[in-house]
Amino acid sequence: MNPFDPYLHLNELVAPLGWPDVFGDDHPVEIEIGIGKGSLLRRMAARSPDRNFLGIERALRYLRIAAQRIARDHQTNLRLVRTDAIYFIEKFVPGASVAAFHIYFSDPWPKKRHAKRRLFQASTVRLLEAKTAPGGRILIRTDVDWYYAQIMELFEHETRLAVVEKGTLAVDALPPEMQTNFETKYRAVGKTIFVLNLQNPQ
């Protein structure tokens, strides 16, 4: 078996991407923003071989770990890219083409002077809506109550996406293998997890 390289190299990409060119088939594409070491992404890809998954991560040391494990297991329905998520989605992701965005435990940047660094801004939620396919979803989880409230308000005022699920996520709502490493740690110490799942009805 030939070595499998899951990396997408920005200097080799033509914008906007054609998903069949990236993955070699026309299966639905799901994107996780901020994959860490890729544990959840790899499990999702293993559970859904009829779907393709793209992970975006800026931390090189984590991305290398994810890439090594993906190559080891030859998970050909997975790709990775190291870049700023908003830049990549805006420039390379075709409009109305993503079956699901997974955004779990995004850094809330709690200090006021750092607010502009938060992933969720008015422009971001409008961009995510524009890139979500008809019937596609945006799946969000966080452990920060005030950030959750802000995210809810942004999607309510800036998009026409339908809310499918919101509020506190029940302890038994997700099997352990569908939780991020952060979520497993947070639940172990009794933290409340908030969920917001939205769907593009168009």
Bridge partner list, 56: 33, 81
Please report, to the nearest 10 degrees, the dihedral formed by the alpha carbons of residues 68, 179, 191, 161 taken in order. Answer: 110
Bridge partner list, 141: 104, 195
Omega into 16 within 30° of 0, i.e. cis? yes
Cα 174 to Cα 177: distance, rounded to the nearest angstrom: 8
Amino acid at 115: A
Dihedral sign, Cα of residue 114, residue 156, residue 128, residue 90: negative
Q: Are 35 and 66 in contact (CB under 8 A)?
A: yes
Longest dimension (CA), the chain: 51
Cα 36 to Cα 55: distance, rounded to the nearest angstrom: 9
Q: How far is CA 26 from the centre of its chain?
A: 19
Burial class (CB in 10 A: 0-12, 13-18, 19+), 157: exposed
Please identify every residue annotated as catalytic. Answer: 107
